[in-house]
Amino acid sequence: MSLLPRRHPRLVGPRALAAAALLAGACSAGPVEVVGLDPGSLRLGMVAHWSCDEIGEGPLVDRSGNGHDGRLFGPEWIAGRFESGLHFEAGDWINVPSFPQAGSSWSIALWYRPPAGDYGDSDLTLAGNQLLAGGWEMSGRLSAAGSRYRFSFPLGADASSTSVLVEADQVEVDRWVHLAAVLDGDAQRLALFKNGTLAGETSVPALIQPGGDNLNIGRSIDARRFLVGDLDDIVVFGRVLVPAEIRALVAGPAPKLR
């Protein structure tokens, strides 16, 4: 992977639980349109939200109110998709200690901007805690032939994994792309959305098994694959996101609860 020059430019209570259950069930059978989406729905089931809007030397603040702040190792603050964001060179990463393990249903959404320039054929880790036989990962590959993104997790001790791939016709360099992965444990379905549109889905025979104790952003758990490019507004939910909610995350940033 070539190094590129840096660019500077938990709700509780019966009502909340019932609402979360309704939203999760709504997506079990496949893509669902939600008419009159409640603006507060994105507050339900939020595990972590890194808005990347605090510029300084301190931690990457978890705006969900759950205290999953991250430690920065190298990434620089830049103008982001919304307010500020973070730029990564190969070797930069963020560590979030003691991050919760994935539940039976799990969703992650984020903004990524691939770098312009000669990046060769590069495997990238956006976020995850995937180990040999457990955990999950949002990742991608950049090459001259095109770009693709995936959400994957191992299905067995042999490190085989299930994944949903998104393949682009051309490399979308220096442009923000919104990626959202949705695992519906009840429906045994994994879907990946690109810019709010369903881009791929697959059935999954098993749920995500426990992975590493730490969540890494911008680096694989074995420190072999790093991210090059920019990230912004990373949010994790312990439930199924429905398509209307994903489109809301494309239109604007996730709500800050802290």
- Residue 168 domain-assigned? yes
Chain centre distance of CA 63: 15
Structure tokens belonging to residue 36: 């009159």
- Residue 9 domain-assigned? no
Which distant-in-sequence residues (6+ apart) come within 8 Å of 123 by Cβ? 139, 140, 141, 225
User: According to the model, what pLDDT value does residue 236 have?
Assistant: 98
Over range 28-56, report the average pLDDT: 75
- pLDDT category, 36, cuts 50, 70, 90? low
C-alpha 176/C-alpha 9 separation (Å) is 15
CATH number, domain at 142? 2.60.120.200
Residue 43 pLDDT more than 70?
Answer: yes
User: According to the model, what pLDDT value does residue 29 have?
Assistant: 34
User: According to the model, what pLDDT value does residue 4 have?
Assistant: 34
Structure tokens belonging to residue 154: 């191992």
pLDDT tens per residue, range 64-78: 999 999 999 999 999
CB atoms within 10 A of CB 49: 27
Over range 89-98, report the average pLDDT: 96
Which distant-in-sequence residues (6+ apart) come within 8 Å of 68 by Cβ? 47, 48, 62, 96, 99, 100, 215
Over range 121-144, report the average pLDDT: 90
DSSP state of 67: -
This prediction's pTM: 0.84
Among 23-32, 61-70, 74-83, 246-255, the least confident range: 23-32
Residue 63 pLDDT more than 60?
Answer: yes
pLDDT tens per residue, range 192-239: 999 999 999 999 989 999 999 999 999 999 888 999 999 999 999 999
Over range 75-100, report the average pLDDT: 96
- Residue 256 domain-assigned? no
Of 49, 45, 38, which is closest to residue 10 (Cα–Cα)? Answer: 45
pLDDT tens per residue, range 105-128: 999 999 999 988 766 778 999 999
Residue 9 pLDDT more than 50?
Answer: no
- Residue 3 domain-assigned? no
User: According to the model, what pLDDT value does residue 159 have?
Assistant: 62
First to last CA, the chain: 37
- Residue 118 domain-assigned? yes
- pLDDT category, 132, cuts 50, 70, 90? confident
Of 186, 145, 179, which is closest to residue 163 (Cα–Cα)? Answer: 179
- Looking at residue 208, its amino acid is I
Number of domains in the chain: 1
Over range 38-43, report the average pLDDT: 85
- Residue 39 domain-assigned? yes
Range of the domain at 157: 14-251
- Residue 107 domain-assigned? yes
- Decide if 254 contacts 46 (C-beta within 8 A): yes
- Residue 2 domain-assigned? no
Q: Between residues 184 and 133, which one has the greater pLDDT?
A: 184
- pLDDT category, 186, cuts 50, 70, 90? very high
